[in-house]
Amino acid sequence: MAIAAKIIRQTGRLAQAAQVGEARELAGSAILCESLLREGVEVMYGYPGGAIMPFYDALTSYPALHHVLVRHEQAAAHAADGYARATGKVGVCVATSGPGATNLVTGLATAFMDSVPMVAITGQVARHFIGRDAFQETDIIGVTQPITKHNFLVHSTDEIADVVHEAFQVARSGRPGPVLIDIPKDVQLAKACYCPPDKAHRQTNNEAGPALSPYLVRQAAQLIAQAQRPLIMTGHGVILSNAYEELQAFAEKTAIPVIATLLGLSAFPDTHPLHLGMPGMHGPAHVNRAIGEADLIVGVGLRFDDRVTGKVSEFAPHARLIHIDIDPSEMHKVKVATVPIVSDAKAALTALTEAVQPANHSAWLHTIRAWQQEDERRQRSIKRRQEAPDPTSILSAIRAATDGEAIIVSDVGQHQMWTARFYQWTRPNSHLTSGGLGTMGFALPAAMGASMGMPGVPVWVVAGDGGFQMNIQELATLQQEGIALKVAIMNNGYLGMVRQWQQFFHQRNYSETPITGPDYVKLAAAYGLTGMRITRGDEVEAAVKRAMETEGTVMIDFVIEPEANVYPMVAPGAGITSMIEETAGEDV
């Protein structure tokens, strides 16, 4: 049956080829290159090895496919991720079998948790070796099934084109995500008839999402009309849907204040009068308090992550919930929705804006602003040492030097929360970070991908001294490719967020959190890059300005207070209105 099916497929391809005049017999490796070009791929990130070598052999004949040789396969996945987040296109990474493929796993899981469209291509041992524990054989299909949207093992050369096109469609349609294609070495070497697919029959990036229910839209509009203390909570789905204008139009017509999750930051401008801030574990007190008092939450493109909700039973206890998400599996998963709307965010917001009547919630907004002002007064009353660079001043200097037009790629830890809280987000889709998985080492390679995808846009990495060292080898890739990143390392000599938890919850038992690092100035010079070390707060602004004026990649080692903390903080398992807040002596 398999042989008969193969003959039918080949006969069909030949018949189609005869009509369009493009039939060619090509090796599987060349068919893979042709298929990638048909999908609009311009850049990919990878590392060669034995099982993927035929593809690399063919790649030299396809100069339009720019391959970036990373220094570790994990960085290839993160770079493809950053490229995809910044551009909205499908990112592509490549690795060989065995350890090459398994080194992609963390990057695939990162993309899966954050709904990032990616295609990972891995070589596999020849078909007759599969299942025999051959050299560098790993069941990467089995390994990655829980952390990919779909994956494929290509069984024959004539399947390659169809599999590639289907993989790209799966990756970018609906709720995006990573897809893996595993191709045995002998399949890459064998030849088959290649005919480009008929574009008229191919699905596109703009495939229609789930049908929007007019009944549910009317129900939602009724709840919005009845609400006295409503909030809009925006997530990553607004950015993925490119629904910035629709979100702003909806918020302005209803006069509902807007809060944004970590991955929803930069979907709504921080400078807008309706903007409040980020909710959750490290959200400002006035935002978390507003959730506690709200009578309606309109959640758009988010999954109510535990770092947002805290103790679920205490999250928005007085509020009804309108939940908009393209993935039906997210409905009622954490909080039961009064009105569940399975839809693309852009379509749902457009329909809701048409369905609702103009409203005024000035009294509610005034109440929240009063809480905010009270909190800000209390913060100003706390005296702090000012000698070392302050994280907020570093972020303010970056924003001033870039006019808010930079893409900021943060790693994971305290600096990530400072960046989320204190950078002023006005450029749409300017905030890239690992949210769901919280992957240290993400920022440097992801920023590399973002910079290549958005040439001409300044890209800043904000990282801690711990996470930065996890993929520090990619400085060589930056120098090799001539990529100009600006890097702010918030160096406190600790694994900062873990140390903070140890301070709060483990009686300051700083077990294995002090960490040393290299001399970053000398390290930058060793890679042919520029480095600076800043130890005083009054040097921050000049250093950032000098970095912007210097060609190429510049690393700034900001030596911050070792025990600086992120405030407020909600303890794990507590309600989000039960916050640990800063005191004059930072005692808890």
Which tens digits make up the pLDDT trace of 488-506?
Answer: 999 999 999 999 999 999 9
DSSP 303: -
Residue pointed to by tokens 């949210």: 435
Which tens digits make up the pLDDT trace of 238-279?
Answer: 999 999 999 999 999 999 999 999 999 999 999 999 999 999
DSSP reduced 3-state for 192: strand
Identify any residues that bridge with 184 across adjacent strands, giving them in sequence order. Answer: 124
DSSP reduced 3-state for 370: helix
Which CATH architecture is the domain 386-560 placed in?
3-Layer(aba) Sandwich (3.40)
Q: Could you give the residue numbers annotated as active site? A: 73, 135-136, 185, 497
pLDDT confidence of residue 585: 58
Amino acid identity at 302: L
CATH fold match for the domains 24-201 and 214-370: yes
Strand-strand pairing, 24-27 and 191-194: antiparallel
Q: 488 vs 80, 537, 544, CA distance in Å?
A: 22, 14, 9
Residue pointed to by tokens 């702090």: 384
The 8 Å CB, 24+ separation contacts for 333-339 are 333/303, 333/304, 334/303, 334/304, 334/306, 334/309, 335/304, 335/309, 338/223, 339/216, 339/219, 339/220, 339/223
Q: 145 vs 31, 105, 112, CA distance in Å?
A: 25, 11, 11
8 Å CB contact between 586 and 565: yes
Domain ranges of the chain: 24-201, 214-370, 386-560
Arithmetic mean of pLDDT, 114-123: 98
pLDDT confidence of residue 211: 85
pLDDT confidence of residue 199: 56
Q: Is the pLDDT of residue 182 over 70?
A: yes
Q: Assign 380 a pLDDT band (cuts: 50, 70, 90).
A: confident
> Which fold would CATH assign to domain 24-201?
Rossmann fold (3.40.50)
Mean pLDDT of the chain: 93
DSSP 568: S
Which tens digits make up the pLDDT trace of 417-465?
Answer: 999 999 999 999 999 999 999 999 999 999 999 999 999 999 999 999 9
8 Å CB contact between 324 and 345: yes
Distance CA 316, CA 320 (A): 8
pLDDT confidence of residue 19: 42
The per-type count for the chain, helices as H runs and strands as E runs, is 24, 22
8 Å CB contact between 515 and 494: yes
Instruction: Calculate the dihedral angle through the C-alpha atoms of 348, 351, 357, 361, rounding to the nearest 10 degrees.
Output: 20
In the CATH scheme, what is the code of domain 214-370?
3.40.50.1220
Instruction: Report the sign of the C-alpha dihedral through residues 222, 223, 227, 232, in that order.
Output: negative
